[in-house]
A and B are shown apart, each in its own frame.
Chain A
Amino acid sequence: MSVGTEIMQACIVAISAVFTQNILLAYFLGLCPFIGVSREIKAAFGLGLAVIFVLTCTVLLNWIAYHYVLVPLHLEFFRFILFIIIIAAFVQFVEMVIERYSPFLYQQLGVFLPLITVNCAILGAALFMVIRDYSFIVTIGWGLGSGTGWFLAIMAMAGIRQRLAHDRIPRGLQGPGVTLIIAGLMSLAFIGFAGVLQGQ
C-alpha cells in the first residue's frame, strides 16, 4: 500500500471508530469511568481529553513494542502483560511531567490520569490494533478515532445527566441505574450510523 492509501485508510478507520464502531457504545469498553465521571460536563471534558491523549500515545507505543519486540521474539502471547505495563508506566510518566511543567494541565487533567491507567478502553484499543493487524499510520487514525469516540460518548452522557440532575427519577433507578439505561439508548442511536461506513 502506498502512503496515500494508508492515510486514506487511517481516516476511514478514525471516522468509523468515532461513529459506527465507537469503543464505548459498540464494545462497552471503559464503562467504569464513563459512569463514574459523567455527572458534570466539566469533569467529563477533562477526562475525555486525557483519554484521547493517553489512548493515542499508548496505542502507538504498544504498536512499536508489539512489532519490534514481541513479534521478532515470537512472544505475541505476552502482549496483555506488556501492554498493561507500558500503559501504566506511560501514565505515571505523563503525570510527573505535567505536574512539574504545566500546573494548568495538571489542574485540568492531573486527577484523571491515575483513573485512566485502569481504563479498559485503553487496553482494548491496543488489543484491537493487534487483532485487526493495523499498520503504524492506520494505528494513528485508530487511536485518535477511538479516543475521540470515547470523548464524544462521555460528553453526550454528561450533558444528558446534567439536565437529568433536577428531574424526578424513581429511587431504584437513580445514579448508575438510569445511566446504564441511557447508555443503552445512546448505543442504539449510534447503531443508526452503521450503514454509513464499513471500515475496520
Chain B
Amino acid sequence: MIVSTLIAVLVVSSIGAALAALLALSESYIANYGECRITINDERELTVQGGKDLLSMLTAEKIFIPSACGGRATCGLCKLKVLEGAGPILPTEEPYLDEKERASNVRLSCQVKVKGDLRISIPQELFAIREYRARCTRIVDLTHDIKLFRLELAEPGTMDYVPGQYVQLLAPKYEKNSEEVYRAYSIASDPAQRDVIELIIRLVPGGICTTYCFEYLKEGDEVRMNGPYGEFHLSDTDAPMVFIAGGSGMAPIRCILHHMKNTNSRRKAVYFFGANEVREMFMMDEMHRFESELPDFRFVPVIAKSDASEAWDGETGLVTDAVQRGLQNASEYEAYLCGSPGMIDASIKVLLDLGVKDTGIFYDKFA
C-alpha cells in the first residue's frame, strides 16, 4: 500500500518536474531575444539582454522613469515615446493612452517588452532623476498613524527639486515583503536645506512600504530613494492661492510654504487643513508660525467631528464646506490640492461651483 502510494506520487511528480524542465529549457531558447540596442534621444545607446520590460531595463541602467505601481500597468505614469521597435499597443495599455498619445507613439514602458532594437525618446528633465542613498536621522510621531521621517542625503549629498515634487522610496525585502518595491512620497522639507529630505507618511494597513517605514525603519538606518519626480508645483503667476490638503497631504504644501518664505513671496495664500478629529491635527505651531512669517498667509484647520470633551475653537464640518464659507472672490484664486482621490474630486467640484477656473486647479492625488 505504502509502496504503491509512493510510486504514484513519484510518477506524477516526475511528470510535473519533466514538464517544468521542458518549460525552463524552452524559455532559455524561445524567450531568449539576445542582445538588443536601445537608442535614447538619438544620442545615447544602451546594449541590453532582451526579454524583459523596458521600464526595468532603464532602471537597471540608472535611468529612472516615474512609476508608482511598480510595473503592473495600473498607474499609467511610466509613459515614454517609443519611436521604433515596440510593436502594436497591448490591450493592457489601452486604458491609459488617449488618441493624441497613440498618434505620437507614447507607450507604457512597463508593458513594452524589449525584443529587438528600440528607438525611444526620454524628456531631458528625467535625466536629472538620480538614485540617492541617505541616512534616516529622526522619526517623529505626528499623530497616531502619521510620522515624519528626516533623511540626510549621503550620496549624492544634495538634491535639486522644485517644491511640490516627490521621491520614490525603496522598501527593501523584509519578513512580509519578498521583493524590493518603490513607493512615491512628496517632499515635505525646507528646500533651502538641500542635503535633507523630510517625508510625512501615513501608515496604510497592509501597505508594503509604509509598514516598512513604521515597523522596521529605525533612526540611523540607511535608506535608498530616487527622484525628484512630478509636475505639482506653484505657477509663475501672482494670483492668490488656496491650498487644500489633509493628513499626509500636508507634505508638499509645507515644502511650498518654506519656499515662499525663502523667496520672500508676497502672494496671498490660504491653507485649509481638514481632519476628522482633534487628535489627527499636527504641526499646528509651525503652520501658525508661517502666518506671522509670510506677508499674507492664513491657516484654517477644520475638524469634521467636534467632540465636547476636546477643546477646539476652530472651524468644524467638512473641509469643502469650510472652503465654501471662507473663500471670497474665488474666481481670482488658483487652487492646489493634495490628498486622497475622494477628497480631491469633492474639492474640485466645490471650487468649480465657486467660480475657480479649471485651468487654475492643480492637484496631486495620493492613490
Write out, one digit per residue, whether chain B residues 119-159 have a CB within 8 A of any chain A CB (1) or not (0). Answer: 00000000000000000000000000000000000000000
CA of A46 to CA of B74, assembled, Å: 23
CA of A73 to CA of B4, assembled, Å: 10
A89 close to B30 (CB less than 8 A): no
* Smallest CB separation, A156 vs chain B (Å): 22
Among the stretches B18-26, B198-206, B218-226, B233-241, the one at the interface with A is: B18-26
CA of A75 to CA of B23, assembled, Å: 24
Interface residues on A, range: 20 to 34
Given A75-B11, A78-B8, A111-B91, decide whether A86 and B27 contact each other with a Cβ distance below 8 A.
no
Count A-B pairs with CB separation below 8 Å: 51
What residues on B are CB-neighbors of A96 within 8 Å?
A: 23, 26-27, 30-31
Interface residues on B, range: 20 to 34
Q: Does A103 contact B (CB under 8 A)?
A: yes
* Smallest CB separation, B111 vs chain A (Å): 11
CA of A78 to CA of B14, assembled, Å: 13
B12 close to A78 (CB less than 8 A): yes
What residues on B are CB-neighbors of A100 within 8 Å?
A: 30-31, 33, 115
Majority secondary structure, A binding face? helix
What residues on A are CB-neighbors of B90 within 8 Å?
A: 107, 110-111
Write out, one digit per residue, whether chain A residues 40-75 have a CB within 8 A of any chain B CB (1) or not (0). Answer: 000100000000000000000000010001000101
What residues on B are CB-neighbors of A103 within 8 Å?
A: 87-88
What residues on B are CB-neighbors of A78 within 8 Å?
A: 8, 11-12
Q: Does B16 contact A (CB under 8 A)?
A: yes
A75 close to B27 (CB less than 8 A): no
What residues on B are CB-neighbors of A92 within 8 Å?
A: 23
B8 close to A85 (CB less than 8 A): no
B15 close to A107 (CB less than 8 A): no
A85 close to B87 (CB less than 8 A): no
Contact surface of A with B, Cβ cutoff 8 Å: 43, 65, 69, 73, 75, 78, 81-82, 85-86, 89, 92-93, 96-97, 99-100, 103, 107, 110-111
15 A-B pairs with CB atoms under 8 Å apart are: A69-B11, A73-B11, A75-B12, A78-B12, A86-B19, A89-B22, A89-B23, A92-B23, A93-B26, A96-B26, A96-B31, A100-B31, A100-B33, A103-B88, A111-B90
